[in-house]
Chain A
Amino acid sequence: MTDLSLRQAGAEAPRTGPSLARMPRLWRNLRGSLLAPASIAMALVVWQIASSTVFDPFLVPPPTAVAKAAWPMIVSGEILHDVTISMTRVLVGFIAGSALAIVVGVLIGRIQILHDLFDPIIELLRYLSPTAMIPIAVIWFGIGEMSKYFLIFWGTFFIVLVNTVVGVWRTPAARQRAAECLGASRLEIFLLIVIPSATPFIVTGMRVAMASSFMSIIPAEILAADSGIGYLLQKSSMLLQTDKIFVALITISTLGFLTDRVFRIAVKRMLSRFMLADAGAH
Chain B
Amino acid sequence: MLEVRDVRKTYGEAADGYVALDGISVDIRPGEFFCLLGPSGCGKSTLLNIIAGFEKVSSGAVSFDGEVVNRAGRDRMMFFQDAGSALLPWLTVEENIRFALRVRRVPKERWGEIVTNHLRMVDLDAHREKLPSQLSGGMRQRLQIARALAVEPRVLLMDEPFAALDAMTRRRMHAQLLEIWQRTGQTIVFVTHDIAEAIALADRIAIMSVGPRSTFLRVIDVDVPRPREMSGAFYAETFGEIEQLLTPEIRRSEARLG
Residues of A in contact with B (beta carbons under 8 Å apart): 172, 174-175, 177-185, 188, 192-193, 196, 273-274, 276-282
Instruction: Assess whether A276 is in contact with B88, with CB atoms less than 8 Å apart.
Output: no
Give how many A-B residue pairs fall within 8 Å (CB-CB): 85
Instruction: Assess whether A182 is in contact with B84, with CB atoms less than 8 Å apart.
Output: no
Instruction: Assess whether A193 is in contact with B84, with CB atoms less than 8 Å apart.
Output: no
Give the residues in chain B near A185, CB-CB below 8 Å: 103
User: When chains A and B are docked, how far (Å) is the Cα of A205 from the Cα of B73?
Assistant: 36
Interface of A is mostly: helix
For residue B200, CB closer than 8 A to chain A, the reply is no
Instruction: Assess whether A196 is in contact with B84, with CB atoms less than 8 Å apart.
Output: no
| 9 residue pairs from A and B, CB less than 8 Å apart | A175-B86, A177-B72, A180-B72, A181-B74, A183-B105, A188-B103, A273-B131, A279-B133, A280-B82
Knowing A183-B105, A273-B131 touch, does A177 contact B78 (C-beta < 8 A)? Answer: yes
User: When chains A and B are docked, how far (Å) is the Cα of A178 from the Cα of B85?
Assistant: 10
Shortest distance between the CB of B251 and any CB in chain A (Å):
33
Instruction: Assess whether A175 is in contact with B85, with CB atoms less than 8 Å apart.
Output: yes
Task: Given contact pairs A182-B74, A278-B85, A279-B133, enumerate 6 new A-B contacts (beta carbons under 8 Å).
Answer: A179-B103, A181-B73, A181-B74, A182-B104, A279-B85, A280-B84
Instruction: Assess whether B89 is in contact with A279, with CB atoms less than 8 Å apart.
Output: yes
Instruction: Assess whether A172 is in contact with B78, with CB atoms less than 8 Å apart.
Output: no
Q: Which of B105-126 contact A (CB under 8 A)?
A: 105
Instruction: Assess whether B103 is in contact with A184, with CB atoms less than 8 Å apart.
Output: yes
Instruction: Assess whether B90 is in contact with A174, with CB atoms less than 8 Å apart.
Output: no
For residue B151, CB closer than 8 A to chain A, the reply is yes
Give the residues in chain A near B23, CB-CB below 8 Å: none
User: When chains A and B are docked, how far (Å) is the Cα of A280 from the Cα of B82?
Assistant: 8
Cβ contact of B74, chosen from A178, A183, A196, cutoff 8 A: A183
User: When chains A and B are docked, how far (Å) is the Cα of A177 from the Cα of B105?
Assistant: 18
Shortest distance between the CB of A87 and any CB in chain B (Å):
31
Cβ contact of A278, chosen from B54, B74, B84, cutoff 8 A: B84
For residue B35, CB closer than 8 A to chain A, the reply is no
Instruction: Assess whether A276 is in contact with B99, with CB atoms less than 8 Å apart.
Output: no
User: When chains A and B are docked, how far (Å) is the Cα of A273 from the Cα of B74?
Assistant: 28
Give the residues in chain A near B132, CB-CB below 8 Å: 279
Knowing A178-B78, A278-B89, A280-B85 touch, does A183 contact B54 (C-beta < 8 A)? Answer: no
Instruction: Assess whether A276 is in contact with B133, with CB atoms less than 8 Å apart.
Output: yes
For residue B76, CB closer than 8 A to chain A, the reply is yes
User: When chains A and B are docked, how far (Å) is the Cα of A185 from the Cα of B103?
Assistant: 8
User: When chains A and B are docked, how far (Å) is the Cα of A174 from the Cα of B45?
Assistant: 13
Give the residues in chain A near B151, CB-CB below 8 Å: 182-183
For residue B206, CB closer than 8 A to chain A, the reply is no
Knowing A181-B153, A192-B99, A282-B133 touch, does A274 contact B84 (C-beta < 8 A)? Answer: no
Proximity string of chain B (81-103) to chain A, C-beta cutoff 8 Å, 1 when within and 0 when not: 01111111111000000011001
User: When chains A and B are docked, how far (Å) is the Cα of A184 from the Cα of B144?
Assistant: 16
For residue B9, CB closer than 8 A to chain A, the reply is no
Give the residues in chain A near B86, CB-CB below 8 Å: 172, 174-175, 177-178
For residue B64, CB closer than 8 A to chain A, the reply is no
Knowing A192-B99, A279-B131 touch, does A181 contact B90 (C-beta < 8 A)? Answer: no
Give the residues in chain A near B234, CB-CB below 8 Å: none
Give the residues in chain B near A278, CB-CB below 8 Å: 84-85, 89
Give the residues in chain B near A178, CB-CB below 8 Å: 78, 80, 86-87, 144
User: When chains A and B are docked, how far (Å) is the Cα of A279 from the Cα of B88?
Assistant: 8
Shortest distance between the CB of A178 and any CB in chain B (Å):
4
Shortest distance between the CB of B23 and any CB in chain A (Å):
26
Which of chain A's residues has its CB closest to B144's CB? A178
Shortest distance between the CB of A167 and any CB in chain B (Å):
14
Shortest distance between the CB of A183 and any CB in chain B (Å):
4
Residue among A273, A274, A281 facing the most chain B CB atoms (10 A cut-off) = A273
Cβ contact of A174, chosen from B73, B77, B85, cutoff 8 A: B85
Give the residues in chain B near A180, CB-CB below 8 Å: 54, 72
Which of chain B's residues has its CB closest to A271's CB? B90
User: When chains A and B are docked, how far (Å) is the Cα of A185 from the Cα of B104?
Assistant: 9
User: When chains A and B are docked, how far (Å) is the Cα of A135 from the Cα of B38?
Assistant: 65
